[in-house]
Amino acid sequence: MDSILPGRFVRESISEYSEFALPNDANTLGNVLGGKVMHLVDIAAALAAVRHSRCAVVTASVDHMNFLHPIHIGQLIVLRSSVNRVFRTSMEVGVRVEVENLVSGEIRHTSSAYLTFVALDQGGQRRPIPCVIPETADEKRRYEEAGERRAYRLAMRERALEKGR
């Protein structure tokens, strides 16, 4: 593979994934389980990561998630994702989770997360990813902030490795 890959615009990775909240997804209060939402976030993020890299990807990390509002049975869960930044063989993907009340039409932001994915070749080894090209002011802001989050993640990883020695 060439050492210099052509870049891809953020818009090329934008993905949307929706799922209807069913009783099987909920706790005894009728709220969708946090673990179910986290699972959907991982799927939505993987869609954007594969769209950008055009290869197999694996989840390397997930930043913390805050659950701002509950999701109830019968509501539509809508997840929007896109690649924020590429770091040679890894990339940060942002996911925004919203819930839509299909009867009233009300839409609420329920959570957001940043995930790191690693691109793999057919042999399961890390492979380079095309850089991402931000165009809008929001994309450029997310691109810059992704660099700050990566520095923090790497520092936390190093601390964890040192504790394990």
Q: What is the DSSP string of 76-128?
A: EEEEEEEEEEEETTEEEEEEEEEEE-TTT--EEEEEEEEEEEEEE-TTS-B--
pLDDT at 1: 40
Kindly list the structural domains of the chain, giving each domain's residue range(s) and its CATH number in brackets, ordered by start: 8-164 (3.10.129.10)
* Own/partner pairs, 134-140, CB within 8 angstroms, 24+ separation: 134/10, 135/9, 135/10, 135/11, 136/10, 139/10, 139/82, 139/84
- Per-residue pLDDT at 2 exceeds 50: no
Q: Taking the model in full, what pTM does it have?
A: 0.92
Confidence of residue 157 (pLDDT cuts 50, 70, 90): confident
Beta strands 132-133 and 8-9 are parallel
